[in-house]
Structure 1
């Protein structure tokens, strides 16, 4: 396969320097009738060079994607578009992109128990002689000094002095293959794609030929071995399966029919009736309704993350319709606002542990993670059905699409599995993959199912009925997939992959362009770096800088346009994993067929017959009978609107999680969510249209004594705004917020280097592609985003914007369904001293002075703008007194301090 792809690349003039196929290949090579166009039959001749294109469906899909004018023929211009595709692109079923890099053999095959197969001992006398005469002397003389038990430090975790260890391979996986051309051992001897082995000089051609012959014979090895690995017996599970399945969340939805037909004097919806029934059972009485002014601020912040303007407040308060009708009209407007997707998409990004860097030891940039962020925002704005939303993120590369843009978006969606934190410094590829798989299992199980399945990696789950077999059955699905996350291989960055490049004709944003001056600057820097003396002290710096500069250049085409590269997931060599006792790589036990947790009641457990099983996983999770997927999502939505989930542990519906406060209501909402087409907007509309949502947030002593935590929602809870809404609200009320979404991310400009490189640019005047002027906040490291919504600020693991960090921005390495909420002095100090707060307050102060003549008018306008209400009499008196006492300073300074004071209040930072 590898040879075929290389032949094809050479055939069309593949340029490894620029990552594109050259345009030297003439259409006449396929044009049999010499009419200047290719029919489908003529186009299929290309399959002779790329075996993966021989399937009729792949060629037909490719042909259709290239045929822009739909005339059932491809002319030279249309055919040329094929040359924009890279050899490392995605699956053959992509309608416009059939060319994929070869899927390598799965490195995890080397850890399967069958590497101790006794058939390995079956060596013929001729094979034994060949090994002793031609192979063993070379291993002894050239390899054992680094790759034997006595070598001291075992290089690459590869041991060659024992036949079983040799067959197992090292940090890069198995070094053998049925085809010598794909054997890592043979590739290393040739110096192809790997460092030349042995490093002191290439072996003679005839010796390399001997190794190729030996590999093609299945590497017969007559050596005796005292270190035969054996399959470790898996201890019998002690899980109480019957008791485990009795847990409420693993059972099917069971909504009550009784409540839906009951009536009461307070409720206006089915949701209200569930809540009111629970209140009355406990002797609670709901408080009065909130005012319209409170309600518009609450719903605006909850749905868009932005407060209403004074004009919007006035219109809503004076709406002649009744409260329910006026609220419904307001909700419809907010749900259709682009700001809805930006706010609610950010909620999902918490769950998806979105970030634009890897975190951990070396923390490299992920320049194309922003495409997944934009996909999520668009999905919420378009009200993509939640079942489709989940399916796209798990298996978007495997599902049908209505057009090329939707297909591209579905592929981008699979970045969900690729954007997690990674230890790129890990030398052992197998350990790296198992750690990535574990992180994916955790993200999917906690994010979508509310289960802590990753706890069963090393032993049966201590609390839930999840066995190690369940864990490795699910892990096998991700082991049979390939997450493509990029990275520039350099010192400390040992684990990297390619990226998928989508064709130019797909209508997708590309991000900032690179000017010719910027390219010349980078190329000059690269040339100077490559000419640096390779001194011992500077060698590492030279390697790192060279790799980073090449990475930046590779992200743009010759015209300066950012290439449409994406992080995503694709199919890999399918594999069933063994159970690793204690989670240790060298203790494989029983092999487990890919599958799903068996404790869950409901959908029939499908068998995975082909491929990774990601599509089967998505279908199982979105089956209407699955008891967890809908429950978990409606609970997340409820939490964001009512401050607390019906299950107070949104990422854990297991036995160590909290029991639902209103179990029948939770099941009613989950079933309604499914029945209404998995529409998140419909679900939100139903929740905010309730009487419960319209309640005031004032307390009542009798209720407080019975339910001090307001579990049963006798009042509306005040909610501290998330960090992004606090920052965005400051910009919004001060008139400096830019609602135009930026294209791309500044991280694209930084290449695939390490996050710590940002420190080098602090205090400098940034030059284009190389850096940014920086001061106290990372927002100023990326000045073009200083007035954009916070969802578009780069999220760099362990390097969070200080403004967001001050207000409890979550750890982007973890699934976070509920953020921590702290109240600390630094939050108030931020509004008093941070340049961001001062600059924006100054802008608002100038507007107040310019637009209004009297102090009283300015005070009224400041309250209405910042807090969406008029000041009380005492507040008005205090404010006027403050301004009068500030005559010693300038008017701008006085009004700036006043605006800062209002923004520093708890009222500004919370919903009413």
Structure 2
């Protein structure tokens, strides 16, 4: 039997020594349900498919049903009850059977017998009944929390501990509310404050700090399964950190927990949602995702919806809903059909089944700050002005269709220049290889025509100048490219090339030794050999057919490159020549264009208009449709306007590129959205994604308050689900929430199993207190800061953690809270504390995850070759010293220090971290580079701020780490250790220098390495004290 299953029985025996006496009234929820749930419900519970002998013991009706002349339970008569007969016998008839491997103890058997004798009264499961606010027991000390706790302590014959001393209190409270220790100045101020409200003032101060939200957010992010990568297969980076930062803001702004719930479950469904509400909806997008080849979309849509359902139920209802994916829940009254009714709320999410291994898997929200919004608005106004200028030119155009002229014009030869005196307007000109491009004037060298030409010199390497992402150039019918080049007779190149970019650099013409230039595959359009090099010392016209290079008429060229291997060459007057018969060319004749159909205008037509015109001849177009297409033709196709409009289009394109650059540089976060047409949802038989059974509608379990349908007949949605969770009569949401906050400060919740309020979970140690906190939380307007304040101002929280022999004997697990718990600090707090006392901590708030020190080769063993998280690239500078909240979390290889101290990998929701105690933890605290560097930086502070003598410095450092004064024996031990280290490093200057340089931060040059090294060892010792790594 697991320890957590054994605890209820141990607690019963510990707290109820008279439990088995005949006159002791038993409670079904407290005394009986845990026994039946652990030993009987698996075969005789809610799950009809797994039920044996058609016997139910989870309901009174089932237990007392006629089973053919006998009953499992006969109230008041154990001897006639089949349950008692079977549990008190032996051999093959005993229950539970031997192969169940969970035999009942004699005490448990006697408890069941006594209960049957008392009439076997059943009770609804405590957590499925809405809490009713109980009266606060009379008490003269503490707040209402203490009244409930003292009543129970009094019943058990125990007394609460006295208050802890002030240094202990401020350290405990500051760590619990901010995740950081107090400074000596803060300790002094609190100790010296003799006001009756000094402690409450300290609480208010700590809750007002930004560090409060950072620390509180960490617990929620465990629940939300937040991480910085997708989690499966390549486990690539995802842009999710704005959600993490929103959680920090929400706690700092004390966002009401009901709104905190609505925004996360359904922020996208609120009317005109704000940016923060949309960011909050990213809670539903924190689940692990994949894009592995061969994955089946339907399977992953199913898995994501199951994860979101199980997570929401665990986080807000504290139930193990995932147990009902394949079959009815074995222990709780949650059927598979009810699970899939909840699942239906999440099944229509609009995110794709495959995440694409990209950082911005839609739906996303781009977070543009106010200054950039203003800049973009100004750029859009400029673009609109250009549109008006284009409109004016089109309106003033005196167009005559050449197809309608008589006689019709004869064909013309046209040369369209793409390069002369510079690249096309608006082009993004780049250079690669060799010196940058050089535009020369006639006085500096040969120019074929115009004012400037392009000259490049290369020394046995490829050199090229090109433009890309600029104005689009179109290949005309029967187009022939030409370019004039001048090869320096004193320094001729060995090969020259002209390249063309469409979707890629795939079309090239080369002259000379083509082997010298390694671009393209020979004898394909990627590398067409045009012959020998042209003559040197003169301008030579090069020509190449567009079709010969694989460039068909109408192809858009988005870039070209002049390339060479060695030598010096000048390029000029580059473009395309073609014959045009205007009367037959759709680029000149509107009549010819419309007769050929709108296919030639392609994607330039708005989607709605293109669909509208599809399958219809132009003579069937409306006047409005004709005007729309004609306007687009004149501006985008008609050759007579292209040269006139080109400068305007180039300017507009530059503005659009600037807008796009601002957008791309802005942070992105995942948000939730639903498909416009919801998916049908079904019971998936045996939990198989491809085995649908009965269709289900969105709904909630029958054992919980009803969620009625909408009056307008529209389907229920996630917002309805969120509002249902927040109903005052909902039995779970408030209880589960206050229990988690309690757990945060006391180590364990009033309900020990914070993720399971069902039959398999533990009953609350103080049920009346739990219900009072839950109902008061709602009455306070779901105010989380007020709830936290109420907990930390209680005597129970403020009392000493000293353990008396009586407490150890009577309450070893501290469930009665006669003392404050003493707990090891969480992983993040341990690291942050070391950075804080060292002075290295960088208090910057928010932003993308950072990558501090990490042992080598942690990511690579689980990384894929094409993953962007295959290799860990450590940050430098301030990023090394940010709070641990901001450490980049790769799910398949989380930060090893964090993992060693039980931080979850965030692959699934985590309601309670474990607390292990391993040798690896001690080794890391002593030897991890982050901690050794922190000790070295702390050593500098000790020397510079701690006083003049070694004794003064030790006393100061001790107080910085533990908040209390060191005793004389402690100072003596530390002083002896310091002297031993000083002697050692004076004899080994190299080791001292090496330790003094540990980490990336620079040591103080005014401190001798030997001294710094010795104090580093002292600082390391203090940071490893039991008091330093625990909270008293």
Q: Indicate whether 1:410 and 2:242 are aligned.
A: no
Q: Which residue of 2 aligns with 1:357?
A: 229
Q: Which residue of 1 aligns with 2:839?
A: 735
Q: Which residue of 2 aligns with 1:167?
A: none
Q: Which residue of 2 aligns with 1:249?
A: 127
Q: How far off is 1:586 after superposition?
A: 3.5
Secondary structure, counterpart of 1:390 in structure 2:
helix
Secondary structure, counterpart of 1:479 in structure 2:
coil
Q: Indicate whether 1:316 and 2:190 are aligned.
A: yes
Secondary structure, counterpart of 1:590 in structure 2:
strand
Q: How far off is 1:596 after superposition?
A: 1.0
Q: Indicate whether 1:443 and 2:443 are aligned.
A: no
Give per-residue Cα distances to partners, 1:209-241, cap 9 Å, x unaligned.
xxxxxxxxxxxxxxxxxxxxxxxxx97998888
Q: Indicate whether 1:424 and 2:291 are aligned.
A: yes
**Structure 1 CA distance for aligned equivalents of residues 758 and 520 of structure 2:** 57
Q: Which residue of 1 aligns with 2:205?
A: 333
**Quick one: which of 385, 390, 397 aligns to 2:261?**
390
**Distance change in 2, residues 1:435/1:873 (3 Å):** same
Q: How far off is 1:761 after superposition?
A: 12
Q: Which residue of 1 aligns with 2:139?
A: 263
**Distance change in 2, residues 1:489/1:864 (3 Å):** closer
Q: Which residue of 1 aligns with 2:776?
A: 672
Q: Which residue of 1 aligns with 2:339?
A: 471
Give per-residue Cα distances to partners, 1:591-647, cap 9 Å, x unaligned.
1111111112x4554459435611110110111111111111100000111111000
Q: How far off is 1:872 after superposition?
A: 1.0
Give per-residue Cα distances to partners, 1:347-400, cap 9 Å, x unaligned.
10001111111223331221x210110111111111110010010011101114
Aligned residues: 621
8 Å Cα contact 1:255/1:671 also seen in 2: yes
Q: How far off is 1:850 after superposition?
A: 2.3
**Structure 2 CA distance for aligned equivalents of residues 604 and 858 of structure 1:** 65
Give runs of aligned pairs for residues 589-738 of structure 1, distance below 5 A. Answer: 589-600=693-704, 602=705, 604-606=707-709, 609-610=713-714, 613-738=717-842
Give per-residue Cα distances to partners, 1:313-341, cap 9 Å, x unaligned.
0110111113xx11100000001100000
Give runs of aligned pairs for residues 77-156 of structure 1, distance below 5 A. Answer: none
Secondary structure, counterpart of 1:566 in structure 2:
strand
Q: Which residue of 2 aligns with 1:185?
A: none
Q: Which residue of 2 aligns with 1:579?
A: 683
Q: Which residue of 2 aligns with 1:908?
A: 1028
**Quick one: which of 930, 939, 948 aligns to 1:853?**
948
Q: How far off is 1:480 after superposition?
A: 2.3
Q: Indicate whether 1:500 and 2:364 are aligned.
A: yes
8 Å Cα contact 1:578/1:591 also seen in 2: yes
**Structure 2 CA distance for aligned equivalents of residues 771 and 448 of structure 1:** 33
Q: How far off is 1:770 after superposition?
A: 8.8
**Distance change in 2, residues 1:421/1:642 (3 Å):** same
TM-score, structure 1 as length reference:
0.63
Q: How far off is 1:783 after superposition?
A: 5.6
Q: How far off is 1:560 after superposition?
A: 8.2
**Structure 1 CA distance for aligned equivalents of residues 780 and 233 of structure 2:** 45
TM-score, structure 2 as length reference:
0.56
Q: Indicate whether 1:376 and 2:265 are aligned.
A: no
Q: Which residue of 2 aligns with 1:804?
A: 898
**Structure 2 CA distance for aligned equivalents of residues 313 and 614 of structure 1:** 47
Secondary structure, counterpart of 1:570 in structure 2:
coil
8 Å Cα contact 1:606/1:620 also seen in 2: no
**Distance change in 2, residues 1:706/1:488 (3 Å):** same
Give runs of aligned pairs for residues 827-866 of structure 1, distance below 5 A. Answer: 827-851=921-945, 852-866=947-961
Secondary structure, counterpart of 1:847 in structure 2:
helix
Give per-residue Cα distances to partners, 1:45-79, cap 9 Å, x unaligned.
xxxxxxxxxxxxxxxxxxxxxxxxxxxxxxxxxxx
**Structure 1 CA distance for aligned equivalents of residues 886 and 161 of structure 2:** 39
Give per-residue Cα distances to partners, 1:421-466, cap 9 Å, x unaligned.
1233262111110000011011101111101112111111111100
**Structure 2 CA distance for aligned equivalents of residues 735 and 454 of structure 1:** 46
**Distance change in 2, residues 1:508/1:471 (3 Å):** farther
Secondary structure, counterpart of 2:694 in structure 1:
strand
Q: Which residue of 1 aligns with 2:965?
A: 870
Give per-residue Cα distances to partners, 1:762-821, cap 9 Å, x unaligned.
9xxxxxx999996xxx7x357652111111111210221122122111130121111011
8 Å Cα contact 1:603/1:626 also seen in 2: no
**Distance change in 2, residues 1:454/1:879 (3 Å):** same
More strand by share: 2
8 Å Cα contact 2:235/2:869 also seen in 1: no
Secondary structure, counterpart of 1:908 in structure 2:
helix
Give runs of aligned pairs for residues 207-286 of structure 1, distance below 5 A. Answer: 246-257=124-135, 260=136, 262-264=138-140, 267-286=141-160
Q: Indicate whether 1:893 and 2:1013 are aligned.
A: yes
**Structure 2 CA distance for aligned equivalents of residues 520 and 477 of structure 1:** 54
8 Å Cα contact 2:350/2:363 also seen in 1: no
**Distance change in 2, residues 1:834/1:461 (3 Å):** same
**Distance change in 2, residues 1:477/1:304 (3 Å):** same
**Larger Cα-atom Rg:** 2
**Structure 2 CA distance for aligned equivalents of residues 556 and 805 of structure 1:** 42
**Structure 1 CA distance for aligned equivalents of residues 975 and 186 of structure 2:** 26
8 Å Cα contact 1:761/1:771 also seen in 2: no
**Structure 2 CA distance for aligned equivalents of residues 479 and 815 of structure 1:** 19
Query: How big is the alpha-carbon RMSD for the aligned residues of Structure 1 and Structure 2?
Result: 3.6
8 Å Cα contact 1:785/1:792 also seen in 2: no
Q: How far off is 1:498 after superposition?
A: 2.4
Q: Which residue of 2 aligns with 1:791?
A: 885
Secondary structure, counterpart of 1:591 in structure 2:
strand
Q: Which residue of 2 aligns with 1:545?
A: none
Q: Which residue of 2 aligns with 1:188?
A: none
Secondary structure, counterpart of 1:481 in structure 2:
coil
8 Å Cα contact 1:316/1:326 also seen in 2: yes
**Distance change in 2, residues 1:578/1:642 (3 Å):** same
Q: Indicate whether 1:452 and 2:320 are aligned.
A: yes
